[in-house]
Amino acid sequence: MTRKPLVAGNWKMNLNHLEAIALVQKIAFSLPEKYYSKVDVAVIPPFTDIRSVQTLVDGDKLLLTYGAQDVSQHASGAYTGEVSASMLAKLGCTYAVIGHSERREHHDESDEVVNKKVRAALKNELTPILCVGEPLEVREAGDHITHTTTQLIEGLKGLKSEQVADIVVAYEPVWAIGTGRVATPADAEEVCAALRSALAEKYGADLAAGVRVLYGGSVKSGNIAELIGCENVDGALVGGASLDGDEFTKLCAMAAGGPLP
Ligand SMILES: O=C(CO)COP(=O)(O)O
């Protein structure tokens, strides 16, 4: 099955709404429309920027999509500081990144919380980008496959097959995030293939063949082609390189199969 690649730029806690507008305009101006037939492009800004991004995307009929970096596990109510999936859906978000290692580490998000967030997102027709990934010590101990497949299966617990078919998985080894130390294509392929096999075992080979599995961790325009060339890597979740319009545009073009003209 051919899976259309997805490149999603996770801005993390960077760029205010004015800077967000400038960056989206830059991407829209620099990436010719024809590339969108070969790659799906998304930006994942901070919550405070989403309304501005929505206005631009809707107003100018841009082909890029957008999403949020997190979502509340709760539907509504007395949860100060939280943002619900229905609020994000109302803003036109396509995606919600869930279980990023920075949230697991700094906000103590367990697989159980990640699972609740995945359910909340799906209930509101947001596509979860479910992140998994091992810290360095787990990789050095040779336990990275067990670690990441367990995170994936626990994150999906209790979901129906048709719900699982709608998710995106992102493999982000913690030791490669923001370090400039990108996983080798062989390392990325090993884990992405194992994640797909885990899906196949639980939900069937046909379903698993349709789920996009992204790689994230120090992805740039110069290394995306070899990563995406791997059979089981269907795109990238990009941090630092997504903050620079020229670099991100180049990266998206490379993911679509060729450099910009
Ligand atoms: O965490 C990441 C994307 O979610 C990866 O970040 P970097 O691309 O900055 O390494």
**Residues β-bridged to residue 58:** none
Would you say 4 is a known binding-site residue? no
Mean pLDDT calculated for residue range 164-176 = 97
The domain segmentation of the chain, as residue ranges, is 6-255
Q: Assess whether 172 carries a catalytic annotation.
A: yes
Using pLDDT thresholds of 50, 70 and 90, give the confidence band for residue 260.
confident
Based on the residue annotation, tell me whether 106 is a catalytic residue of this protein: no
CATH classification for the domain delimited by 6-255, as one of 3.20.20.70, 3.30.830.10, 3.20.10.10, 3.40.710.10? 3.20.20.70
Q: Is the CB of 9 under 6 A from ligand 1?
A: no
Question: pTM of this prediction?
Answer: 0.98
Atom of ligand 1 nearest to the CA of 180: 10
Q: pLDDT (tens digit, 9 = 90+) per residue, 47-60?
A: 999 999 999 999 99
